[in-house]
Amino acid sequence: MPFEEWRDTLETLHRWTQIVGKIRLKLTSTINHWWNVPLYISAHGLTTSAIPIGDRSVEIEFDFVEDVLRIRCETGRAQSVELGPRTVADFYAATMEALRVAGVECRIWTTPVEIEDPIPFEQDEKHRSYDKDYVMRFWHILTRVDAVLTQFRTRYIGKCSPVHFFWGSFDLAVTRFSGRRAPPFEASSIEREAYSHEVSSAGWWPGDQRLTRPAFYSYAAPEPAGFAQAPLAVEGAFYHTGLKGFYLGHDDVRRAANPEQVLLDFCEATYAAAADLGAWPRQELERGSKGPC
């Protein structure tokens, strides 16, 4: 996934997922750590999962295999929006109209988040790329990573998030919790809710202008003293001072003899560093754990 080769498509798709994600945010009740807002891996792409609306429900899915956005209601009413080279403004208008025709009324805040120089969706004529090959590569990566992160999640009996796709930061993530409250987080209300408790989070990210290559990451919040210097027995892993976390290049994992094991080793090593340095009660949180190594 060379970043510059699919950057235009990535930036368009990022904004499209924010439109759908904001619809889910608008229609759902708030769940701790914003677990009501992400998207999830489906058999053909990314989905909101079923969203309850009164006595019925709606699901919105990016079907990357058949190049359509599907809006399905349990009443049988369904609409679709074509996925292809089209502007964000055009996609936004078509999606909101399809939602209305499907019988779902929803208004969203139209400014994208976690993006440099955001353009309101209805005004964005700049982003219009859709390279089918790279979209399929992106989705196939997500499906493989989802499986490994799910396996990583099964080893933990403490509080743990689902494996989910955050459309703001455009990454697939899973987060483990120590069970303890974190010190007050001096940031936005969104970050204060996300990091209200001690966490160790790992995931996959396609990159942006700060790191122009796809990578796996792992960070701790709050970050315990010594975390950045923790030795990791994972070849290629490094601490990124600007992004405040450990990173491992996507290609380093892809080219390994056993990519799944390398990713699991990275997740386990970075979690262990966060948990040990943060004095987490590991014997109470891990399946079959005997405590810190």
Tokens found for residue 145: 């990573």
DSSP label of 209: T
Q: Which pLDDT band holds residue 289 (cuts at 50, 70, 90)?
A: low
Please give the radius of gyration of the chain, using alpha carbons only, rounded to the nearest integer. Answer: 19
Asked if residue 265 has pLDDT above 70, the reply is yes
User: Which residue type, as a one-letter code, is found at position 287?
Assistant: R
Instruction: Say what percent of the chain tops pLDDT 90.
Output: 82
Chain segment 123-157, per-residue pLDDT in tens = 999 999 999 999 999 999 999 999 999 999 999 99
Query: Structural domain boundaries of the chain?
Result: 3-123, 132-285
Average pLDDT across the chain, whole number: 93
DSSP label of 163: P
Ranges of H-type helices in 42-128? 88-101
Q: Please choose, from the candidates 240, 233, 238, the residue with its C-alpha nearest in 3D space to the C-alpha of residue 248.
A: 238
Output the pLDDT for position 110: 97
Q: Compute CA distances 135 → 36, 44, 147, 214, whole Å.
A: 25, 12, 19, 14
Q: What is the mean pLDDT of residues 150-170?
A: 95
pTM for this predicted structure: 0.92
Q: Please choose, from the candidates 273, 271, 264, the residue with its C-alpha nearest in 3D space to the C-alpha of residue 286.
A: 271
